[in-house]
Chain A
Amino acid sequence: MTVHIPYAPAFAAQQPEKSVEVYVDNGLTQILTWDRRTDQRQVRTTAPNGVAAYDIEPDGRHLWWFDADPSGIGLWRRQPFRPTPTDPTTPPAALTGLPPGRQAGIAFDASGGRVAVGIGTKTETRCYVGRPGGAGQLVAAAAGYATLVDLTADGDTVALAGRADSDTAISVIRLSDGRLDIVAGSDHRRIWALEFRPGDRSHPQLLVIVETPAGYRVGTWQRDRGIALAAALSYDTEVTAHWYGTDGQVLIQHDHAGRSRLLLADLTSGEPATIATPPGTILDLTCAPDGDIHYVWTGASVPPQRRVAELGAAAREAPRAAGPAQPTGTARRSELWTTQPYGRIHSFLATPPGAGPWPTLFLVHGGPSLHDRDAYDPRVELLVRAGYAVVRTNYRGSTGYGPQWQRGYGHRVGLAQLDDLTSVRRDLLHRGIATPGRVGLCGYSWGGYLVLLAMGVTPDAWSVGLAVAPIADYPAAYRGTTIALREVDDELFGGGPDDVPQRYRAANPMTYLDQVRGPLFIAAASDDDRCPPGQVRRYVAALRHRRVPHQLHWMSGGHLGNADSQTRAFDELLRYAGQALGPDRTRAATADGRPYQPTSQGGR
Chain B
Amino acid sequence: MKRRSVRHDPIATNERERGAVVVKMFLDMDRAVAAERSGGTDPAADKVAVSE
Contacts and interface: CB of A to CB of B under 8 A. Distances in A.
Interface of A: 1-4, 6, 8-11, 13, 24, 27, 53-55, 66, 102-107, 118, 120, 145, 147-149, 161, 164, 190, 192-195, 198, 209, 211, 216, 238-244, 251, 253, 255, 283-284, 286-287, 298, 303-304, 365-370, 375-379, 381-382, 385-387, 399, 437-438, 444-447, 449, 463-464, 471, 481-482, 484-485, 487-488, 517-519, 530-531, 540, 544, 547-552, 559-560, 562-563, 566-567, 570-571, 574-583, 585, 596-599
Contacts of A251: 1
A10 B3 contact: yes
Interface of B is mostly: loop
Nearest to A235: B10
Contacts, number: 265
B5 A367 contact: no
A437 B42 CA distance: 9
Nearest to B20: A560
B25 A378 contact: yes
Contacts of A548: 50
A386 B35 contact: yes
Contact of B34 (A11, A567, A585): A585
B5 to A, nearest CB: 4
Contact of A283 (B23, B48, B51): B23
Given A375-B21, A488-B16, A519-B47, 8 more contacts: A55-B2, A147-B6, A147-B15, A216-B10, A370-B20, A375-B23, A386-B34, A551-B50
Contacts of B47: 517-519, 549, 580
Interface of B: 1-13, 15-38, 40-44, 47-52
Given A103-B6, A255-B11, A370 B17 contact: yes
Contacts of B29: 1-2, 378, 381-382
Nearest to B31: A567
Given A53-B5, A378-B25, A386-B34, A580 B48 contact: yes
Contact of B5 (A54, A287, A463, A484): A54
A598 B23 contact: no
Contacts of A194: 9
Contacts of A253: 11
Given A2-B29, A437-B42, A519-B48, A149 B8 contact: yes
B13 A369 contact: yes
A152 B19 CA distance: 32
A576 B21 contact: no
A399 B11 contact: yes
A375 B36 CA distance: 28
A446 B18 contact: yes
Contacts of B20: 366, 370, 444-445, 559-560
Given A366-B20, A438-B43, A544-B52, A1 B28 contact: yes
Contacts of B34: 382, 385-387, 574, 578, 583, 585, 596, 598
Contacts of A574: 32-35
A566 to B, nearest CB: 6
Nearest to A253: B11
Contact of B6 (A104, A370, A444, A598): A104
A45 to B, nearest CB: 15
Given A105-B5, A216-B10, A544-B52, A576 B15 contact: no
Contacts of A298: 23
